[in-house]
Structure 1
Amino acid sequence: MTSSRYTFAVNICLFFSVLLLVTSALVMPVLAKDVVILNQPDSVHDTRYEYSYKLMQLSLIHTEDDFGDWEITTSDYPMTSGRVLPELMTGELINVIAEAPKTQWSEKLIAIDVPLRKGVQGFRIFIIKQQNQSLFSDINTFEQFKLIPTGSGMFWSTRFAMEKAGMDVVIGSSYDGLFHMLDKERFISFGRGINEAYDEVETYGKIYPDLIVEKNTLLHIPLVTLFHVSPAHPQLANRIKVGLQRIKDNGLFDEAFHQEHCQFLVKSQLSQRQVFTIDNELISKQDHKEMLKNKEVISPKTNFDEICLTYIEE
């Protein structure tokens, strides 16, 4: 082969090699950044979503290699309970929320079936005014307990469970407003998850100094908190599901749960309280029994002093 013919052949080979590389680059899938838009808290005092946001972050971090970059942001303003569902349907202003299942949500949204708080949000203790503790100290039956007026948000799933059980439920229109109503004794008690009550008394006690956590009773409502994802973002739902499973498998999920909840599980002294259990029609007794069996949720009768010893010492 002459020198010119050799050079021509080499150039042809180089040309097709470059063409192959360019073509490969063009057809190679580019992973777009996953943007999670969560609901903005109701107020500067509202810390209810911080733990679920932490789990979201862990899930996204542990799926970076196969799903790519990510970002977590919040809506421009808080979404009221009534507006959340239609906005989630479009997925434009908000595309993920951590909430208990509600009627129609399972049909219209993508629910990730991993109980984020292991059911402890259904361990309801009550914020009251200090002078009303005597009303609860001698309660021994649910018939006595249900007569005391208690506050609830309008669209909270716990509201419907309490009403169906015959409790005297007074409805408030806003999170901050419910504490104002409690202070004005529009109702006597305000049921909160054990993960919420103590922090809220500390926060709102600066405004309403008579607030305390009631010491004698606990209302157990089978309840789970799940991530609900917009149907407009199925790929994001898949990533969150994969990420949650990974942090469950590597132990980070349980570690985050105990670090967040152990201080409240021990402080609330569940074993010394009168426990009243009512049904939640959104979770069947059989489903709850299976979740207990699979350790996806925990029982209020568990010995938390022993389980939480390491985490509280830390």
Structure 2
Amino acid sequence: MSGSVAFADTTFIRYPRPAAKVDSHLDYVNELLTEALAFSPRKYQLLPSKATMQQGRAVHEMKNGTGEVDLLWSMSTDEREKNLIAIKIPIDKGLLGWRTPFVISENRQMFKAIKTLRDIENYSAGQELDWPDVKILENNGLKVEKANSYEALFSMLEAGRFDYFPRSVMEIWKEQEVHASKNLIISQDIALHYPAAYYFFVAPAKRQFAEDLTNGLEILIRNGQFERLFLKYHQSSIQKAGLKQRTVLELQNPFLNPANMPLSRTELWFKP
């Protein structure tokens, strides 16, 4: 009987089932959510959606309150913040905006002489079609080839359909392991950087959950656990990326208003 009472007291929260073979963010996000929700007076159980789901579809389901998805972690845009509840704590500390490129191994020297953004205008980048990065890159005058799925991008790069696949410092090393059979390497010469924030987004229908998650995350920031978890999962990637040794190409991000970002909370942002 006690089991059924506990079940009745539990709110189920659904997140998009990832399409990737290995989601490089999932372990970190899971631990962060578990730690933050441990402070909640209410019980929550997180479950993946029934089907795999891309970002665009997840945002649509959440905005329309279908109950298919209640929680998403993704790069923020002004539009997403308007339609969903954005918890404005950058769980990536802005690291998602620091990008290093995959190239095929024969092109390891391709970016050696690059000094400015204009120098890479003739090279094409690969991205999944509903990622916010597509518009950011295009808005900065860069060419983008779009794929319907994340996994397809690795094969398309290997086949020469585009020249480079920029991935965040927090993703690229795990992706290299997973796709080790492909003829791809991480270019050592450049990094792209644009203002970005990786937030938890909650469906408007789950306001109480958003409040409980926010409170839990703020406690983790205050007690130092947020920083410890961030370093546990990302310190090695940051060191391997060697951003200070790279030519950093700065891009504008017109789809995220800096005035709406918690930039004054400097402890929440990564600086190389």
Using structure 1 for the length normalisation, give the TM-score.
Answer: 0.80
In 1: Cα distance, 2:235 partner to 2:264 partner: 18
Task: Give the match's secondary structure for 2:141.
Answer: coil
1:137 match: secondary structure: coil
Q: Give distance in 1, aligned partners of 2:192 and 2:138.
A: 13
Give matches, 1:99-248, under 5 Å. 99-206=74-181, 208=182, 210-248=183-221
Distance in structure 2 (CA, Å) of the matches to 1:160 and 1:53: 29
Same amino acid, percent of matched pairs: 25
Deviations along 1:253-295, one digit per CA (max 9) or x if unpaired, are 010001111001111111100001111113335556x616623
Partner Cα separation in structure 1 for residue 67 and residue 266 of structure 2? 36
* 2:49 alignment partner in structure 1: 75
The one-letter amino acid paired with 1:94 is: V
1:79-113 per-residue CA deviation (whole Å, 9 max, x = no partner) reads 12331122113151110000112353212211111
Greater radius of gyration (CA): 1
The runs of at least 4 consecutive aligned structure 1 residues that moved more than 4 Å come to 285-288
Paired AA for residue 159 in structure 1: V
Q: TM-score, normalised on structure 2?
A: 0.92
| Cα drift, residue 248 of structure 1 | 0.8
- Structure 2: how far apart are the matches of 1:156 and 1:86? 14
Distance 1:284 1:236 in 2: 26
Higher helix share: 1
What is the rounded CA distance, in whole Å, between the counterparts of 1:162 and 1:75 in structure 2?
30
- Is contact 1:38–1:72 with CA below 8 Å preserved after alignment? yes
- With 275-284 and 264-273 compared, the bigger mean Cα shift is at 275-284
Amino acid at match of 1:173: N
Partner Cα distance (2:258, 2:122) in 1: 25
* Aligned length, in residue pairs: 265
| Whole-angstrom CA distance in 2 between matches of 1:198 and 1:186 | 22
Q: Tell me how far apart the structure 1 counterparts of residues 210 and 264 of structure 2 sit (CA, whole Å).
A: 25
Which residue of 256, 264, 267 corresponds with 1:283?
Answer: 256
Structure whose residues are more often strand by fraction = 2
